[in-house]
Amino acid sequence: MDGLNFLKERYGNQPTGKNRPDGFHNAHEVARAALKGEASNGPEDQIRKYLDRLECLAVDPMYKQKTHVLGEDYRPRALFLLREMLMNKYVRPNKEKMAKGSARGEVFESQELQQRGEIAVTNLERSLDSWILHLSDANEAYPTWFRYYAFRNILGLGGFDKGKGEFIKRSKSSAGLFPDVDRGALTYVEQMIEATKESSILERLKRAQVIAANGEDIPQDELITKEKVVAFTKLSFAKQYAEGIRRNGEITPEMLKITEGKWVKYSQGEDPTVLWTSLQNKGTFWCTRGFATAKKQLQDGDFYVYYTLDKQGKPTIPRIAILMEGQNKISNNNVRGVLDYQQNMEGNMLKILETKLETFGQEADRFNKKMVDMKMLAAIENKIDNKQALTRDDLVFLYEIDFKIEGFGNKRNSSIEEIRNQRNSKKDASIIFNCEYEEVADGMEDINEGTKAYIGSWNIDVFQKIKNFPKIIHLYEIFPTKKIFMRYLETDSRIDSPEKAEKALRDKGIIITHWGKDLLSKTQFSQEKEKYLLVCFTVEQMGFPSGATTSEIYQRAQELKLELCPAQVGPHLRLQEESLEWMVIAMEQAVDLRYNLRIFRVDGGIEILGLGSSRAEPFTLWRAGDKFVFHFRRLGF
C-alpha cells in the first residue's frame, strides 16, 4: 500500500471540501491554493498534487522561499503562516479555559489566572512547535504523505498514559501538552504501513525482530506477519503510535546504571542492515531506527555507536551515537544519547563520550562547552539526589541567568525543566538576586519600597507603579524564561557618526538591511556618553488589543508620559542587546529615499542579530503583538 492509496482509504477521495482532514491544510484558503489552476486526473492525482503543493509550502526542499525564524531554526515563510493558523484554531482561543483547568479548583485573582493562561498557551505552543519543526525538517527521511498523516492526527492527542499504554484524547480546552516526538516510534509506524506494499520491507522487519530477540523465542502473538501488518494499517494513528512506542522497547533503570560496553564503528558506504538491526526494540529515539535514514547516514560518513551490556552480558544496548561527515569530521554536532525524546546524553555516559571525542583531535574542541555544561548539570542532579543544598552558582547555571545550557540532544536537556519544576522558583530567584524572599514581589499588590525583584504580569499599570521604586532591577513575567524589557542604555561616545556606527555593527556580525542603512545615514550621534532608561510594551499592553496606528500609539505614549527615543538609541541598543526579539524603536520618523516615513527595528535570526527599519506613516497599522521601545524618566535618574 503506497502513501497515496493509504490516505485515500483513510480519508476518501477528496483531500479538501466538507470532509477534508484537519492539519497543515486546515484553512480553506490553503486548500484552495494547493489545487489552484491544476487539472486533476482522478482522486490519486488530486491527492498527489495536493501533497506536492504541501511539500513546497511546508518543507520547501528546493529552498525557493524566504525563511523565517521558528523556534531555534529557520523554516519556510509559508510554514510560519500555516503555524499561525493552527495556533489560532487549536491553542490560543482556549487560554481562559486552560487557565481555569490548570487551577484544579483553586481560586485565583484574575491577574494570576491570566498569567496561568499565558503560561499554558506558551507551553502548548512549544509542544506543538516540536511537531511542526520535526515534520517540516527537509533532512528527515519521511515521505510527505506520512508527514501529513502524522501531523493531522497528533492534533487530537494528549500525553501518553504508560499505565494503560495508550494516548489520552485531548479536548479543545486541554492544557495538557501534545505527545512527545518519538522518532523511533514514528519510523516504526511508517515502515509498518509501507510494508503492506513492499515485501522487502516486511522481510527486513521480520529479520530485525529475530536478531533483536538475541536467541530467545519470540511469542507467537508478537511475530510480525503480513496479516498483522495489514491489520496495523487499519488501526487509528493513536494506537499505531502507541504500538510504535511499545515496540521501541524501554531501557530499564537497571540497564541505565550499566556503563561497561564497547564502541562499534560502522564504516561509510557499508550495508546499513547491521546498524539498523542493532537499534530495533532497544529504546532509542534515534531517527537511525528507520532503514532509509540509516542508509543515508552511512552514505554520508562513518557511524559510531557505544553499546552497554544487556542481561546476558553482551554489548547490545545502544547508548551513544556519533554521526560523521566522511571519516574525520563529526556531522553538524551529531552526538546523541538516550536520556529523553530529544536524544540528550545521560550523566553517566559523559566520561565515556569525552574519552571517545578526544580520539577525533581538534573536532573535540567543538564540544567543550557542551561537555562542561552537562557535567555541571550532572553534578547538580547528584546534589539533589543526595539532598544537598544548591549554591548560588548552581542556581545561576540552572536558571541560565548568564548563558544558555548546551547539551548533546536535538533540543534542550529535559532534566533542566524537570529540576526547575520541582523547586520553589521564587525562593531560588531571591538567592540568585541576593535578596530576601519577601523582597521578591509576585504581583503588583506586593510591590513596596523594599522590593528588589518582580515576577508577574506586565502592563502599563504595573509599569506606572514599578517606575517609582528604583530598587527594583530584576523584572520577569515568568522566571526565568520571560524577562521584562526595562533597562538602562549608555551610549558609546566613540560611536559618534553613522560611519562609525555602521563599522561597529558590521564588526559584530550584525546584519544591516538596505533601509536600515539608509536610516542610519540620517541618524545624529552624540559626541558624549548619554544615558537612557528604556521600556518595551506591545501594542496590546498599551491598550489596543486589536492593533493601532502609529499616531494612536504615539498619542497614547504621550498620555502615559513615555517619550520617543533619540534615533541613535536604535543602533546603540542593537550593539548592546543580545536578544533576537523583534522590537521597533519609538522615535521621530525619518524620510527614506522613496519619501516614506521610517523608524528603526532591531531583530534577528538564529545567532544572527539585525538592524533594519519599518514603515511608520501616521496611519500605518501595527498588530497587537508588535513591540515598541520608549524612553522614560524614573525617580532618582
Half-sphere exposure of 138 (CA within 13 A, CB side): 16
Q: What pLDDT, in 10s, does the model give residues 3-42?
A: 778 888 887 654 444 444 443 333 333 344 444 545 556 6
**Residue type at 299?**
Q
CB-based contacts of 542, cutoff 8 Å, min separation 6: 460, 548, 553, 556, 557, 560, 628
pTM: 0.65
CB-based contacts of 545, cutoff 8 Å, min separation 6: 624
Q: Is pLDDT at 330 greater than 70 in this prediction?
A: yes
The dihedral built from the CA positions of residue 396, 401, 403 and 409, taken in this order, carries a sign that is positive
User: Phi then psi for 48, rounded to 5 degrees?
Assistant: -60, -45
Domain boundaries, the chain: 3-12+56-178, 186-338, 486-631
pLDDT at site 112 = 55
Pair 600, 511: CB distance under 8 Å: no
Which residue reads 567543550 in cell numbers? 368
Mean pLDDT computed over every residue of the chain: 84
How much is the CA Rg of the chain, to the nearest whole Å? 27
pLDDT at site 108 = 47
Strands 590-591 and 597-605: antiparallel
Strands 583-585 and 627-631: parallel
The DSSP letter of residue 163 is T
Residue 310 has which C-alpha cell? 544487556
Share of the chain above pLDDT 90, in %: 43
Residue 429 has which C-alpha cell? 530567584
Closest CA to 47 of 93, 4, 106, 107: 4
Alpha helices in 249-347 (DSSP H): 253-257, 273-278, 291-300
Greatest mean pLDDT among 86-95, 158-167, 438-447 lies in 438-447
Q: What pLDDT, in 10s, does the model give residues 445-486?
A: 899 999 999 999 899 999 989 988 888 989 999 899 889 999
Share of the chain above pLDDT 70, in %: 86
- Model confidence band, residue 182 (pLDDT cutoffs 50, 70, 90): confident
Residue 513 has which C-alpha cell? 538591511
Q: Can you tell me the mean pLDDT for 621-625?
A: 92
Q: Give CA separation, 332 vs 277, 281, 300, 343, 605, in Å.
A: 24, 27, 12, 15, 19
The Cα–Cα gap between 268 and 594 comes to 56
Please give the helix or strand (H or E) that residue 598 lies within, else none: strand 597-605
Q: Is the peptide bond before 143 cis (omega within 30 degrees of 0)?
A: no
Cα torsion for 228, 230, 235, 241, to the nearest 10°? Answer: 70
Q: Can you tell me the mean pLDDT for 75-98?
A: 78
Burial classification of residue 342, based on how many CB atoms lie within 10 Å of its CB (0-12 exposed, 13-18 middle, 19 or more buried): buried
Burial classification of residue 279, based on how many CB atoms lie within 10 Å of its CB (0-12 exposed, 13-18 middle, 19 or more buried): buried
Furthest CA-CA distance within the chain: 84
Lowest model confidence (mean pLDDT) among 113-122, 357-366, 375-384, 536-545: 113-122
* Residues composing the chain: 637
Residue 263 has which C-alpha cell? 564502541
Q: Decide which of 613 and 310 is more confident.
A: 613
Residue 583 has which C-alpha cell? 522590537
The Cα–Cα gap between 309 and 255 comes to 8
Q: What pLDDT, in 10s, does the model give residues 500-535?
A: 999 999 999 898 989 999 999 999 999 999 999 999
pLDDT at site 420 = 92
pLDDT at site 97 = 65
Q: Is pLDDT at 255 greater than 50 in this prediction?
A: yes
Q: What is residue 301's three-state secondary structure?
A: strand
Q: Give CA separation, 547 vs 462, 474, 538, 541, 542, in Å.
A: 21, 29, 9, 10, 10
Where does 26-117 show beta strands of DSSP type E? 67-70, 73-76
Q: Is pLDDT at 315 greater than 70 in this prediction?
A: yes
Q: Is pLDDT at 628 greater than 80 in this prediction?
A: yes
Q: Is pLDDT at 354 greater than 90 in this prediction?
A: yes
